[in-house]
Every structure is written in C-alpha cells, then in structure tokens.
Structure 1
Amino acid sequence: MRIEDFIKDEKSLTIIKKAEEFAKNFFEREGTHGFSHTERVLALCMHIGKKEGADLEVLALAALLHDIARPLESKGKIEDHAKEGAKIARRFLKGLGYEKTDQVAHAIEAHRFSKPPEPQTLEAKILSDADKLDAIGAIGIARVFMYSGEHGRSIEYSLKHFEEKILKLKDLMYTKTAKEMALERHKYVEEFIDRIRKEIEGEL
C-alpha cells in the first residue's frame, strides 16, 4: 500500500513520514506485534477510513504510532502499551506542533478491545477495528501460530486461543466496513479450525 494513494497533501505526508520513522525505532525485531503488524493496520485503516469518511491524516498517524509501546509491555516494563503509547505519541506530535494531537492520542489509548477507554471518535473506532481485523483471517491464523512458536505452545493450545478470543472478534467491530470484512475473515478461520481438527483426529 502507498500512503500517497490515500493522502495527497504534502504537509500531511511529511508528518506521516516522520511518524513512520519515529515508530520504526521502537521495534528491535519482528514478531506477532512487529512493525509489519503496524503496516498492515495502517493499510486496513486507510481502506476502511476512506469508505467511512474518516480523517485519514489522524488515522494514519494513530495507526503508525498505536503499538510503539508494545515492546516495553512485552519486556514487562509497563502494564498497558496503549496508554503509554498515547503518552509517547502525544509528546512526539506536540514536539512537531501538530494540531490534532489529542485525536491521535485518544485513538491510540482506546485501540485495545479488552481494556478501557472505549473509542469515542470515528478514527478511534476504525483503528480498533483494524487492529482486531489483523487478528482474523489468514493473517490472524499465521500470527496465532507464530506467537505459539515464540512461546513453545502446542497446536491444541493454539486452537483453544482461537475459540476463546479470535472467533469472538467479528462481533466486536464498530464500523460497517469492518463488520463486512470480519465476516469473510471469520469464515476462513472457522473453515481452517474444522480442517485442522479433522487432521488431528486422523480423519483427513
């Protein structure tokens, strides 16, 4: 995805590029929440945001910065990467004199579906939806098993995670566009689970 296909304003593109470079510095390695996840969330946000009539500049910045504190949480240095990420993003954007800092910070703070606060703006809802969508479908399946491999977990444990979390995500979407996308991704996961269970039992 090229951000220039969605945002044409040169001033907006400049600050977005600065945010991208800033965000990359927080990720030492790839993984289930590496910078590739951020790039996919950004792409989802742009496609959903365009259809839903969102502020794509705010959305792009929020997407790029939404997980910058995730590595700190993974290392046990902080408890909530969303809240800490919002603080870091706020300092960064204020340092650039950005006028919509509050909107971006709110979207970052509210992007986790499992913790408050609830997203109040369209941009915050889209970011939350995009983050959840990246956990469903083919990408979602790949991420679950990548995470299990990183933590030495079995296939059976992974299937339990699908049932307890992943299969519930389609009902947690806010926007019409994301709900439609989630249905297709959810169906793919269901088909995969059915197939892998049959293979485990030796039926196929």
Structure 2
Amino acid sequence: MEGLRGECLSFFEKGSHYVDHVERVVALAKRLAEFEGADVEVVEAAAWLHDAGRTAEDLGECEDHAVESARLAPELLRRAGFPEEKIAAVVKCVERHRYSKGLKAETIEEAVLQDADRLDALGAIGIYRAIKIGLQAGKPFYDASIKPAEVYAGNSKTTINHFHEKLFKLPDSMNTETGKRFALQRIRIMREFVRELECEWEGVA
C-alpha cells in the first residue's frame, strides 16, 4: 500500500492540510473496518484515494472531487499492484464518500469510509480544522447577530455558525455503530468549546 500512498499524496502540495487529513482518515478507516468486519484492504485503498481530486476541484478543474478521485482511482490502483477484483469496490467507496452529496452507503466498506471522513471533522481536530478553514476563507469567527441557519446551505456565514449548521449534526449521519460511538465522544468536546466560547464572548462567563 506504500506505493499507493505515495501516488495519492503526490496530488497535494508539500505541507497541505489535506495530507494530514488523508492520513488521519486512513487510520480511522482501518480501525473502523476492523471493528465492523469490513474489507480492510478495500477501505484503506479508498481512504488513500478519497481526496485525490481535491486540488483539481479547488483550482476549478473539476466540479466534484469525489467523482474526479474515483476517475483517477483505477489507474493508480493498477500501478500499485492492487487486486483487480477489488478495484470496482474501491472506486464505489471513493465516488460515494462525500457528505454534501447525501449518498447512502450501499456496502459496509462505503459506510466505513463515509464515517471515517466525517469523524475527522469532529473533536479537537474538528475544532482546529474549522477555525483554520474559516480563517483561510476570510470568514468572521463569531457574530452573535448572525444566527445559524436551520438548514446548512453549504457555506456558513461565520465559523461558529458552521459548528451549529453542519458539524453538530454529523453524528446523526454516521452509518456504523462504531462510527456513532466515536462521533458522540468527539462531539462532546466541540459542544463544550462552543458553549464556553459564546459565553466568554458575551462576557457572561
């Protein structure tokens, strides 16, 4: 799998936060696969590949990084000597992993990859990622006058609203029992952070 790892990470610039994200998703996916009885080889390969098209999307070269990653996957897998009979399963996992598309997992391997990718948006790492991405986008961090939307429209107006509109809802989208358990552990950290921040911001704590 080392050859596939190198191929996938080569799509990102050195120091890109996507590299760290992909490596964490791989570790989470392997752990979930073991708990849930999924094919670890399929899950690990899909986790390495799932964001291969992300840079192309960021540059406006494709509309959907999940579709682009799935398009790239067969050739990368074959170059890495991956079993031919498992390639289709990996491609489906990659193509269907994206949260915003709302696709239901059809196999345990797809379920595991979706959960692993979503788990990396939660917990202490999730707080770090949300703040970093908000800063990069130039969003206000918090504004009490801007209330969170009831339905997430894909782009929150403030970083803290992103917690309310999307991140706090992720545990409900988990597919596996292990994923749900991990998500509930992580979401407690995030809720406490946001609750304390909002109190301190308003000078009531």
Structure 2 length normalisation: TM-score? 0.88
Judge conservation of contact 1:109–1:117 (CA < 8 Å) in 2.
no
1:30 Cα offset (Å): 3.8
Structure 2 counterpart of 1:197: 198
Secondary structure of 1:77's counterpart equals coil
Closer, same or farther: CA 194–106 of 1 in aligned 2, 3 Å: same
Structure 1 counterpart of 2:27: 43
Q: Deviations over 1:49-107 (max 9, x none)?
A: 11111111111100001000001111111110001100101222234463210010000
Judge conservation of contact 1:31–1:147 (CA < 8 Å) in 2.
no
Closer, same or farther: CA 147–97 of 1 in aligned 2, 3 Å: closer
Structure 1 counterpart of 2:94: 108
- Unaligned runs of at least 5 residues, structure 2: 143-157
Secondary structure of 2:131's counterpart equals helix
Q: Deviations over 1:34-59 (max 9, x none)?
A: 11000000110111111111111111
2:69 matches 1:89? no
Counterparts of 1:68-147 in structure 2 under 5 Å? 68-95=52-79, 96=81, 98-99=83-84, 100-115=86-101, 117-147=103-133
Alpha-carbon separation, structure 2, partners of 1:49 and 1:200: 41
Structure 2 counterpart of 1:13: none
Q: Deviations over 1:137-181 (max 9, x none)?
A: 110000000001111112111111111100110000000000000
2:62 matches 1:61? no
Amino acid at match of 2:90: V
Structure 1 counterpart of 2:3: 18
Judge conservation of contact 1:86–1:109 (CA < 8 Å) in 2.
yes
Q: CA RMSD in A?
A: 1.3
- The number of equivalent residue pairs is 188
Closer, same or farther: CA 116–102 of 1 in aligned 2, 3 Å: farther
Structure 1 counterpart of 2:148: none
Structure 2 counterpart of 1:158: 159
Structure 2 counterpart of 1:11: none
Alpha-carbon separation, structure 2, partners of 1:17 and 1:29: 18
- Unaligned runs of at least 5 residues, structure 1: 1-15
Closer, same or farther: CA 149–155 of 1 in aligned 2, 3 Å: same
Alpha-carbon separation, structure 2, partners of 1:92 and 1:165: 32
